[in-house]
Amino acid sequence: MKILMVLTSHDRLGNTGKKTGFWLEEFAAPYYTFQAAGATITIASPLGGQPPLDPKSDTPETQTDDTQRFKADAAAQSALAQTLKLSEIAASDFDAVFYPGGHGPLWDLVEDKSSIALIETTLAAGKPIALVCHAPGVLRRVKAANGDPIVKGKAVTGFTNTEEQAAGLTEIVPFLVEDMLVQNGGHYAKVADWQPYVLKDGLLITGQNPASSAPAAKELLEQLSLLTSA
C-alpha cells in the first residue's frame, strides 16, 4: 500500500507580512495513521525539500499527541525535510493520495498544474483521494472527464466560512473554501465549527477542519481496503 501525501510550498499569508504553510496536525495525524496501517508513505510538494510549517499550528494550544510524537520522531522529520518535487511524481506509483491543509495550498496547489493532473489522473484510475480543511480548495480547477468541476454533484466539505471568520482571515485568503465548493456545484455540508466531519462520495473524501484529519485518513484506508478486496 503506497500513499502519497502532498504539502504546500507557499509560506506567505497574503499581504500581511506573516507566515503560513501546512497545518502540523493535518500532516502528523494522517502520517501516523498511515504508518500504523503499514503503508509506504511518500511526501511531495511543488518545490520539493522542506515545506513551510504554519507557525500558528505549532503553538502550545494546537498541540496533539500526534504533533508531540512528530517532534520526537527524527525519521519523520527527515522525511518531511526531503519532500519530492510534485512535478516529478507519477500518479501510477501510488494507491491513494492525501492532501493536508493549512492556508498555503490556497495560493500554490490550487493553481499547480502537476497537482491538478495528479488528482484528475488518480480519480480516473479508480484510486481514492482525501483532502482536509483548506485542502479541498485545491479542487477548484480540477475537472471531471466531461469537463465539469470535479466536485459538481458530489457531497463535499471543507473549512467553513465561519471557521475562516474565527481565524480572522476572511479578507486575506484568495477565496473561501466553502463558497468555492458551492459555486463549483458541490453538495456542501458541514457541522459545528471545529468538530470532526468527513464526507465520502465515491473516490473523493473531504474533511472539514484539523480535527477531521485523522478521521479522513482512516476513511481513506477503509476505501483502499474495500477497493483491494473487491
* Span 56-87, pLDDT tens digits: 999 999 999 999 999 999 999 999 999 999 99
Backbone angles phi, psi at 108, to 5 degrees: -105, -50
DSSP E strand boundaries for 126-224: 129-132, 155-156, 187-188, 198-201, 204-207
Q: Which CATH architecture has domain 2-229?
A: 3-Layer(aba) Sandwich (3.40)
pLDDT band at 229 (very low <50, low <70, confident <90, very high): confident
Across all residues in the chain, what is the average pLDDT? Answer: 97
Q: Which residues pair with 205 in a beta bridge?
A: 130, 200
Q: For residue 221, give the 3-state DSSP assignment.
A: helix
pLDDT for 230 equals: 67
CA distance 208 to 134: 8
pLDDT in tens, 152-197: 999 999 999 999 999 999 999 999 999 999 999 999 999 999 999 9
Query: Given the C-alpha cell 468555492, which residue does it identify?
Result: 180
| Cβ proximity of 214 and 184 under 8 Å | no
Summarised one tens digit per residue, pLDDT across range 117-153 is: 999 999 999 999 999 999 999 999 999 999 999 999 9
Q: Which amino acid is at 130?
A: A
Own/partner pairs, 165-172, CB within 8 angstroms, 24+ separation: 166/193, 169/13, 169/14, 169/103, 172/13, 172/14, 172/15, 172/16
Q: What is the pLDDT of residue 220?
A: 98
The domain segmentation of the chain, as residue ranges, is: 2-229
